[in-house]
Chains A and B, each alone.
Chain A
Amino acid sequence: MTEPEPVPEPVPGPVLEVASLVKRFGTFTAVDDVGFTLMPGASLGIVGESGSGKTTTARVLAGLEEPTSGTVTLAGETVTGRSRRDRLRRARLLQMIFQDPYGSFDPRQTIAESVAEPLRLHAPGSRKQHRARAAELLDQVGLSRRAGQSPPRDLSGGQRQRAAIARALAVRPRVLVLDEAVAALDVSIQAQILTLLEELRAGTGIAYVFVSHDLGVVRHITDEVLVMRHGRVVERGATEHVLRTPRHPYTRLLLDSIPSPDWDLDRVARDRVARDRRALDLADRQATPAPKGETTC
């Protein structure tokens, strides 16, 4: 190949910029005016209940949904369009990890074959080189050679998610979007995967967009956080700060809803009432004419 590999050159600006992103499905607005920037090596959490628009935001970033309006800018270039060139450019800069690590693999291929698959498209070289690189990637995420030779059904959930991470890293993306990536795993396995993600971020300077409903996980892995509700960002800031001193009643409700030793169901109920009565609905009414029903996607 004549073109040099897109080494992450030290761009001074953000690696991902999202501006006034809107996604409507018919009359339902799933994502409403969401915007944020992500610096290289940063980690941003997007939290909210199901139906808050966080997953749709992730899917728009990955190009699985076309935004109704708004822009997604990756490493200074606006990514739109579905032509082959656009797809490849987006894929080289941004990859995504899905919630269901089993469903993310072709059941007929071994894990190593699946990991080598994106190399066929993005990396020049022989099959032998691709196999070697796949083995290297599997090693990087802590999977044995034997696991690589297995079909996805023979691996545990944690191993599959490691494999999915290896496959996403194959194209050396600058941004990794993780959609509830550890939600389907046991708590002990979650910790291993989160540690792996931390190591990878320190080692490669990759940036994360971490979509989750689990505030504990988000606290662990992200520096900054967006709280979404009804498709809109209701609170944002440094993760520790937002989670320690939530300003928005909805964030407070999310925090109270985490089961913990001093979990107080009465307080959850009080906060829910407070949220419903005052602040939010008032804010909602000011911003838009009454939202139509709480449809979840």
Chain B
Amino acid sequence: MTLTIPALRARGAARRRPRRPLGLVLAAAFLSLVVLTAVLAPVLAPHSPEATDLLNSLAPPGTEGHWLGTDSTGRDVLSRLMHGARLSLLAPLGVVLLSGVLGTAVGLLAARAGGWVDAVLTRAMDIVFAFPSLLLAMLVVAVFGPGLAAPVCALAVAYTPFLGRVVRSMALQEGARPYMESYRVMGFGEWWVTLRHLLPNVAPVILAQGTLSFGYALVDLASLSYLGLGVRPPEADWGSMISQAQSAILQGQPWSGLIPGIAVLLTVVSVNVLGEHLSGSIARRQGETR
């Protein structure tokens, strides 16, 4: 008996927690690494990200003292990458949080108010949806000048319909379930029921959708920086690093541009793997409970 119990327990535990897919583990590990280096950049970076060394410009990766080489003004690519990670992660996070709040509010309002409110909000979302997000951001930058605040706000507005539509349809589905009516019969108001019972049941979907839009925001913001509309030098994010490496790429020295490009690519892929996993597990759980 004493022998079988641990064996049974081990088998039970194994069944309850299935092995996580390798891709997910790698993605999570890579993201943790990126976040960690971003947070600890001042401590970990071997050089100042802004220290130029013209004698040592465009060193290839593997050069002593500059593991990932230097850029056209001799700045250490690794240090710039680490410092750049901060803006490259914070700015998309701002976009996700802002568009998360906006999209949730718009989606819930449309679904619960119905009628003309729903019609107006849905049409408005369609219009924003049809407008290219980068173009919107460029227009806003043209009006308010470069810097991060304007593009972050513009992208947040541009991303609102993605989440707003999902939240609206989920809220409609959840709002049709009988427990919503049972709370109404108890005398609770519409908005109380919406915030206390409907929103928590929709929240996992918001989380998954937010994770996915983080990847898009990162790419869009990098593109803006690449176009010179985002971060202003000497501050650096990954997009502006690629932009500044253009001339070097034409000279046959692609490294200083390729490395931040790879950083963007890997981060976005990891975030998307995580987001897909989240929405997948939510779909499974909802399948179980319904």
Is there a chain A Cβ closer than 8 Å to B131's Cβ?
no
Q: A58 CB to closest chain B CB, in angstroms?
A: 10
Is there a chain A Cβ closer than 8 Å to B284's Cβ?
no
The answer to whether residues A121 and B187 also contact, given A108-B200, A153-B289 and a CB cut-off of 8 A, is yes
The answer to whether residues A91 and B201 also contact, given A103-B177, A104-B178 and a CB cut-off of 8 A, is no
Contact A64–B184 (Cβ < 8 Å): yes
Is there a chain B Cβ closer than 8 Å to A171's Cβ?
yes
Contact B201–A106 (Cβ < 8 Å): yes
Q: How many A-B residue pairs have CB under 8 A?
A: 55
Is there a chain A Cβ closer than 8 Å to B144's Cβ?
no
Is there a chain B Cβ closer than 8 Å to A244's Cβ?
no
Is there a chain B Cβ closer than 8 Å to A88's Cβ?
yes
- Among A80-124, those with CB < 8 Å from B are 84, 87-88, 90-92, 95-96, 98, 100, 103-108, 117-118, 121-122
Contact A121–B188 (Cβ < 8 Å): yes
Query: Which B residues are CB-close (under 8 A) to A84?
Result: 189
Contact A121–B181 (Cβ < 8 Å): no
Residue A105 contacts which of B179, B184, B187 (CB distance < 8 angstroms)?
B179
Query: Which A residues are CB-close (under 8 A) to B185?
Result: 62-64, 91, 95-96
Bound together, the chains give a CA A90 to CA B189 distance in angstroms of: 13
Interface size on A, residues (CB 8 A): 27
Contact B182–A104 (Cβ < 8 Å): yes
The answer to whether residues A91 and B179 also contact, given A107-B201, A108-B200, A108-B201 and a CB cut-off of 8 A, is no
- Among A2-17, those with CB < 8 Å from B are none
Is there a chain A Cβ closer than 8 Å to B7's Cβ?
no
Contact A92–B201 (Cβ < 8 Å): no
Q: Select from chain B the residue with minimum beta-carbon distance to A151.
A: B289
Contact B186–A121 (Cβ < 8 Å): yes
15 residue pairs A–B, Cβ–Cβ below 8 Å: A62-B185, A63-B185, A84-B189, A88-B187, A91-B185, A91-B187, A96-B185, A98-B178, A106-B179, A107-B201, A107-B289, A108-B201, A117-B183, A117-B186, A171-B186
Query: Which A residues are CB-close (under 8 A) to B186?
Result: 91, 95, 117-118, 121-122, 167, 171
Query: Which B residues are CB-close (under 8 A) to A95?
Result: 185-186
Q: B184 CB to closest chain A CB, in angstroms?
A: 6
Bound together, the chains give a CA A98 to CA B178 distance in angstroms of: 8
Additional 11 contacts, C-beta under 8 A, given A103-B177, A103-B178, A108-B197: A88-B187, A91-B185, A91-B187, A95-B186, A96-B182, A98-B178, A103-B179, A105-B179, A106-B179, A108-B200, A118-B187
Interface residues of B (CB under 8 A from A): 177-179, 181-189, 197, 200-201, 289
Contact A100–B201 (Cβ < 8 Å): no
Bound together, the chains give a CA A166 to CA B184 distance in angstroms of: 17
Query: Which A residues are CB-close (under 8 A) to B187?
Result: 87-88, 90-92, 118, 121-122, 171
Bound together, the chains give a CA A164 to CA B179 distance in angstroms of: 10
Bound together, the chains give a CA A118 to CA B197 distance in angstroms of: 13
Query: Which A residues are CB-close (under 8 A) to B178?
Result: 98, 100, 103-104
Query: Which A residues are CB-close (under 8 A) to B177?
Result: 103
Q: A74 CB to closest chain B CB, in angstroms?
A: 13
Residue A64 contacts which of B179, B181, B197, B289 (CB distance < 8 angstroms)?
B181
Q: B32 CB to closest chain A CB, in angstroms?
A: 29
Q: A171 CB to closest chain B CB, in angstroms?
A: 7
Bitwise, A195-239 to B at CB < 8 A (1) or not (0) is 000000000000000000000000000000000000000000000
Q: B259 CB to closest chain A CB, in angstroms?
A: 45
- Among A127-178, those with CB < 8 Å from B are 153, 164, 167, 171
Query: Which A residues are CB-close (under 8 A) to B189?
Result: 84, 87
Query: Which B residues are CB-close (under 8 A) to A64?
Result: 181, 184-185
Q: A204 CB to closest chain B CB, in angstroms?
A: 18
Query: Which A residues are CB-close (under 8 A) to B179?
Result: 103-106
Bound together, the chains give a CA A87 to CA B197 distance in angstroms of: 19
Query: Which A residues are CB-close (under 8 A) to B197?
Result: 106, 108
Bound together, the chains give a CA A117 to CA B185 distance in angstroms of: 12
Query: Which A residues are CB-close (under 8 A) to B188?
Result: 87, 121
Query: Which B residues are CB-close (under 8 A) to A90?
Result: 187
